[in-house]
Amino acid sequence: MRFILKNSFRFFIIFFIQVFILSKVPPLHQFIVPYFYFILILWLPFRTSRTSLLFYGFVLGMIVDMFYKTPGLHTAASLLIAFMRPYIINLLLPKEVTEWGDDEPSRFSMGALPYSTYILFLTLLHNGYLILLEWIQFGSFLYFIGKLIGTSVVSLLLILITELFVHRKTRSR
Amino acid sequence: MLIFFLLLQGTSLYMLFTYNNFHHSIYTIFSSELSGKVFDRVNNVEEYFSLKKENQSLRLQNAALLSRLPSGLIVADSSFSLVADTLKNDSISVVRQFEYMPAKVLSNSVFLQQNYIMLHRGSDQGVLNNMAVVGPDGVIGTVVGTSKNMSIVMSLLHRQSKLIAVMKKGSGLGEVSWDGKDPAILSLNKIPQTVNVKKGDTVITSPYSDRFPPGMTIGYIEEVDQDQETNTYILKVRTSTDFYSIQHAYVVKNILEDEMQELKRKIIKE
């Protein structure tokens, strides 16, 4: 119960910031677009099954798409990271994942370095796939590379800020 | 697991690549009704931030409209009456071609690469796909999707938006598009260099469009550049509409469109 409450609360706050605030902030440049809603997928507990991960990614992407009016774009990207997440965790933490129980991936539960790698890789994957799909529709190679770098820097910055503001209690290792 | 992933991935890619072709998809109807309700709530709050600016522009428009009222015009009385009128075809009667339907803007974006505007007026209130949307200051976009009470407008700030334009003071057909960089600047191409173009000139909608009323302001020339290869200009146009703060718009209905289409069909058949 507490788990559901906590996650729905988190969902509404992060979703609200992404859709109603970040999408209206004037960007410094065309390449610098703030995306950080996918942190919701990165923060799900370790024991979340792969099926529910995929389902959650799909629904989250769909809802974001509804408000950005880009059907399928964010859905495809968030699905991809929901699919890749268990593999990355297994790669970074050779331990049995079920042992972690309700713990979420964080710098305390995983350690600072593996956690940073985890965030960096999935952020690049999400933004890379998203912008690749945009590139297929319009734009050039320069657009792809420039926007990938710009967007990812902003995403990582936003995740860092969220990380500092949100206190996530976890068992220490 | 992989199959489940591929299935969902396939669904989303299908939606992504068919959205621009099939505007009237189930997705549009479902999602715009839902997100429209949420946007309506948020919009109620947001409207307060731009009240002053919005009032100003409405007052200006009111003034412009009032000055066009017949009571504001004085014509010297020089008329005389005809007793018997045998003319059957009245050659000076006026036919109304465009009808303006006011609509409230529910949501608007300018910072994405594909910007859409959502209006609180849908198919039940007479909005159809491909209708033009204009504001008090000029062109805004084209309707690409409608549901019962909402409609989605592809704004001029969309990477796939294209609009035929002419220079106000002379001929020269060109094409207005957006390069995705600055929400206040559009690009205008294909105007031949035989036309004299200067900074500050007005760009308007062409009289050949069957959606947009002719002579609607699109923007003003900001920068003139010459393309040596094709002998045309590469122009930058500053939009006359401030896309950052659109609150009200008018959907334009072409009353004569059916007649025009029928005529075109007839010619193609023959």
**Which residues span the domain enclosing B233?**
163-241
pLDDT in tens, A107-130: 888 888 889 999 999 999 999 999
CB atoms A75 and B112 under 8 Å = no
How many other C-beta atoms are found inside a 10 Å radius of the C-beta of residue B108? 24
- B57-100: per-residue pLDDT in tens? 887 787 777 767 665 555 555 555 445 545 555 566 667 778 88
Mean pLDDT of chain B: 81
CA angle B105, B111, B116 (to 5 degrees): 40
Q: Which of A104-118, A158-172, B61-75, B175-189 has the lowest mean pLDDT?
A: B61-75
- Does the distance separating the beta carbons of B34 and A66 come in below 8 Å? yes
B27 within a domain of the structure (yes/no): no
Count contacts between A and B (CB, < 8 Å): 86
A79 and B160: CB-CB below 8 Å? Answer: no
Rg (CA), chain A: 16
Report the half-sphere exposure of B83 (CA within 13 A, side-chain side): 0
Residue partners of B80: CB distance under 8 A and separation at least 6: none
* Residue of chain B minimizing CA distance to A147: B113
Q: Does B9 touch chain A (CB under 8 A)?
A: yes
pLDDT beyond 80 at B257:
yes
B160–A133: do the CB atoms touch at under 8 Å?
Answer: no
Query: Nearest Cβ partner of A83 from B5, B17, B152?
Result: B5
* Residue B55 counted as domain residue: no
Task: Kindly calculate the radius of gyration of chain B based on its CA atoms and give it in whole angstroms.
Answer: 22
The more confidently predicted of residues B22 and A145 is A145
> Is B221 among the domain residues?
yes
Q: Do A58 and B152 touch (CB under 8 A)?
A: no
Separation between Cα atoms, residue A123 and residue A158, nearest integer Å:
11
Q: Which two tokens stand for residue B143?
A: 């309707």
B1-40: string of b/e by CB count within 10 Å (b at 16+)?
A: eeeebeebbebbbebbeebeeeeeeebbbebbeebbeebb
Q: Write out residues 152-171 of B within 8 Å (CB-CB) of A.
A: 152, 159-160
Q: What is the model's pLDDT at position B46?
A: 75
Q: Does B5 contact A27 at a Cβ distance shorter than 8 Å?
A: no
Q: How far is A8 from chain B (nearest CA, A)?
A: 17
For residue B227, pLDDT over 90 is answered with no
Residue B78, min C-alpha distance to chain A (Å): 58
Interface touch A79/B17, C-beta < 8 Å? no
CATH assignment at residue B191: 2.40.10.350
Contacts of A65 in chain B (CB under 8 A): 31
Residue B157 lies in a domain: no
pLDDT surpasses 60 at B24: no
Tell me, yes or no, whether B12 lies in a domain.
no
ipTM: 0.76
Any idea where the domains of chain A sit in the sequence? 35-165
In A89-157, at which residue ranges do the beta strands (DSSP E only) sit? none
Least confident residue range of A150-159, B157-166, B204-213, B232-241:
B204-213
Q: How many domains are there within chain B?
A: 1
Provide the pLDDT for residue A81.
93
Reported pTM: 0.70
